[in-house]
Amino acid sequence: MLNAPNNFVLNSLRTLIMLEKAIDRLIRQNFLNENQVPMIVQTLKNTVVETRIRILSYKNFGNVPSFVALVISSIEDLSKLVEDLILSCPCGSGQKQQSKKRKEADCKSLISSIDEMLIKLKAYFSPETTGVLMAEKISDSFFEEFKKWSEELVLKLSVQKVSGRGKQTCIFPFMDIDAYCSNIRDNEWFKRKALKNLNQFTPEAGHKKNCEVVKRSYRLKGYRPKNRKVIVPGKKLDAPIRMAQCKGCGKIFSVLPSFISREKHYAADLIGKVLEGILLRGVCLQYAKEIMDLTGFPVKSKQTVLNWMEWIGTFHPADLLERAGATATGYLQEDEGFQKEPNLRTYIVAMVDPNSQVVWHIDYIDHVGEESLYQSFEEFLEKISFKIKGVTKDKWQASTNALKRLFDNLWIGYCHRHCLQNFKKALTAYQKETGLSSKKSKELYDKFSNVLENSTHRANMEVKIKMLTKDEAFNHPLLKSRLEELKENAVKYTAHKNRAGIKKTTSIVDNFLKIAKRKLREAMSFRDAKWAGIFFRGMANVRNFIEFKAGAKNAHKSPFVIAGGENFSLPWMQVINVHNGFLFETIKS
């Protein structure tokens, strides 16, 4: 057993320096200057440096078991992130270019060296003999702050990838594969179909900062050196990709039709069918893989399908909707779907616009409480450009408090359906206790429902409740408690009479949560918070853009279209593609 605490700190610093140098090499090999380096790469490098500084600041605690375990855990997470970053970053034309094969070999060598260092670091960990007395002198707040900082950054960085194209690629709406292949070489046709309105679809980040939007126009700039090989229904397409140059700033863009996705071998609609089946229709991974086998071009493994799920679930629904131009009234329905998992009490928190049925917010919380909900709502608030004016919800106090703390002058309406359900339970218990007839029970229910339905404001409801108490049955403790609750929250139960955007029930958000709960029951437990979050974000994104079936009130319209979004008469997956839903670089410069 090694017994030199300073050596642990020094070896930890050496390991982090190795990771920092690996990121520096990645930058040199793939980017010509600092302006080309994606934010994710720079953020990861800064995180490694910050971790090194924190460890150095607390070097005197190098023999404390809690500190040793925390440092080892942080280094393991960072090394995994660096590995993923290196493998996901395409080989670019940097100052020192490197082949893909050489990059993979170097990455394997780096990870091997890091693993050896981690084995040495773990040799210092001994709760029985190391630093027990000193551990008592360290403030718990240090460990909590360090741990929270590390976990939040790791979670944020782990769902992002480096894109080699992104902002220099634009998607124009065109779904006819045969017409594209027949006419792509026709300059006049391409100018008419794509170039004329290209400014509408070009990512702002792809232009130089001094390029004025109002003066932009584009000229043809030849073709990409290599055609895009895309698997479409029934065949493998070898599609020429035209390029266009901005006359204002000189930047060159690849111009893709909407049926081709950025960096994917399969056509957007094929991927969309698989995602729709898994996320909304109850199809399992194995069956989805077998469906793709029927195309004649099977996916290599289930991991490909999981990558597609991660792809659709990277963005929060609000990010995607704001980017695509959807609008909201500012009045939402909020509810939480409780699911019992092994040793966990987990909730799915959702906020839905009742008019358009757009899911604006969804989150997976495995530690339920007011603070967790507040953080979830706060993250949502940072993503939207409109003001939240009112929310219809159930009577759960934790979420009510979180909403009141975050949103100023918020109208809150309580769901009538939840109130009636609670009264029905109390009435059933009263009926069993007293032997009340079914006819009298229905009369009591109708009276209570009438007060809830027809009261126009607080004073009016209080008068109606007082009249109810003339019936002796409502003075029984079981029913009286329901009347007292109704009276206490009279303002919230009548909010829909005084504010047009507030609804009587949370029926729309409840219908969406039924899908999420069904999937939870099928999977039993997600066990991994990161992937559960990705899964439910993906579910919300698919639900927002997919059209309602024939026979529905808004048949052949998607919630996104009802919310004012433009779909260009395209299939839902292509709609997301056109609105840069798979552009993971910053949309603005």
DSSP class per residue in 41-77: HHHHHHHHHHHHHHHHHTGGGTT-HHHHHHHHHHHHH
Q: What is the pLDDT of residue 152?
A: 63
Q: Domain 317-414+505-573 belongs to what topology?
A: Nucleotidyltransferase; domain 5 (3.30.420)
Residue-range domain boundaries for the chain: 5-158, 166-260, 268-312, 317-414+505-573, 416-498
3-state secondary structure of 548: strand
**Is 358 in contact with 365 (CB distance < 8 Å)?**
no
Tell me what pLDDT residue 286 has: 85
How many other C-beta atoms are found inside a 10 Å radius of the C-beta of residue 162? 23
Q: Is 354 helix (H, G, I), strand (E, B) or coil?
A: coil
- The DSSP string of 382-436 is HH-SS---EEEE-S-HHHHHHHHHHSTT-EEEE-HHHHHHHHHHHHHHHHHHHT-
Q: Which two tokens stand for residue 43?
A: 């953020």
DSSP3 helix / strand / coil % (the chain, rounded to 5):
55, 10, 30
3-state secondary structure of 437: coil
Q: Answer whether 446's CB lies under 8 Å from 425's CB.
A: no
The count of C-alpha atoms lying within 13 angstroms of the C-alpha of 109, restricted to the half-sphere facing its C-beta, is 8
CA distances from 87 to 42, 95, 405, 548 (A): 16, 19, 43, 39
CA 351 to chain CA mean position, Å: 13
Given this model, what pLDDT does residue 78 score? 84
pLDDT 10s digits, 362-408:
998 877 688 889 999 999 999 999 999 999 999 999 999 999 999 98
Beta-sheet pairing, 242-246 with 252-257: antiparallel
Task: Give pLDDT, residue 465.
Answer: 95
How big is the chain, counted in residues? 589
As a whole number of angstroms, the distance between CA 394 and CA 417 comes to 9
How far is Cα of residue 55 from the mean position of the Cα atoms in its chain?
Answer: 32
What is the structure's pLDDT at 359? 97
Handedness of CA 305, 311, 315, 317 (dihedral sign): negative
What confidence score (pLDDT) does residue 450 get?
95
3-state secondary structure of 520: helix
Indicate the DSSP class of residue 585. S
Residue (of 146, 145, 127) closest to 74 by Cα position: 146
In this prediction the pTM is 0.74
Q: State the DSSP string of 168-231.
A: GEEEE----HHHHHHHTT-HHHHHHHTGGGGGGTS-GGGS-TT--GGG--EEEEEE-SS-EEEE
d(C-alpha 216, C-alpha 76), whole Å = 47
Tens-binned pLDDT, residue by residue, of the chain (589 aa): 444 446 888 888 888 888 888 888 888 877 766 666 777 788 888 888 888 888 888 777 777 777 788 888 888 888 888 887 777 665 554 445 566 677 777 778 888 888 888 788 777 766 554 444 444 444 455 556 666 666 666 655 554 544 445 678 899 999 999 999 999 999 999 999 999 889 888 888 788 888 888 888 999 999 998 899 999 988 899 999 999 999 988 889 999 999 998 888 899 999 999 999 999 887 888 888 888 887 788 888 888 898 899 889 989 999 999 999 999 999 999 998 876 655 566 778 999 999 999 999 999 887 768 888 999 999 999 999 999 999 999 999 999 999 999 998 999 999 999 999 999 999 999 999 999 999 999 999 999 999 999 999 999 999 999 999 999 999 999 999 999 999 999 999 999 999 999 999 999 999 998 888 777 666 655 567 778 888 899 999 999 999 999 998 999 999 999 999 999 999 999 999 999 888 765 444 3
Which amino acid appears at position 420 of this protein?
L
CA dist 566 and 49 (Å) reads 44
| Structure confidence at residue 142 (pLDDT) | 55
Written as six digits, the tokens of 509 are 């958000």
Tokens representing residue 191 in the block = 């100018």
Q: How far is Cα 148 from Cα 6, in angstroms, rounded to an integer? A: 25
What is the pLDDT, as a whole number, of residue 59?
77
Q: What is the pLDDT of residues 73-122, one digit of tens each?
A: 888 888 888 887 777 665 554 445 566 677 777 778 888 888 888 788 77
Amino acid at 28: R
- 315, 419, 431, 476 from 480: Cα distances, Å: 47, 14, 14, 6
Residue 339's DSSP bridge partners are 346
170 vs 198: CA distance, rounded Å: 8
pLDDT of res. 586: 47
Q: 78-109: b or e for each residue (b if 16 or more CB lie within 10 Å)?
A: bbebbbbbbeebeebebeeebeeeebeebbee
Q: Are 169 and 256 in contact (CB under 8 A)?
A: yes
* Rg of the chain, C-alpha, whole Å: 29
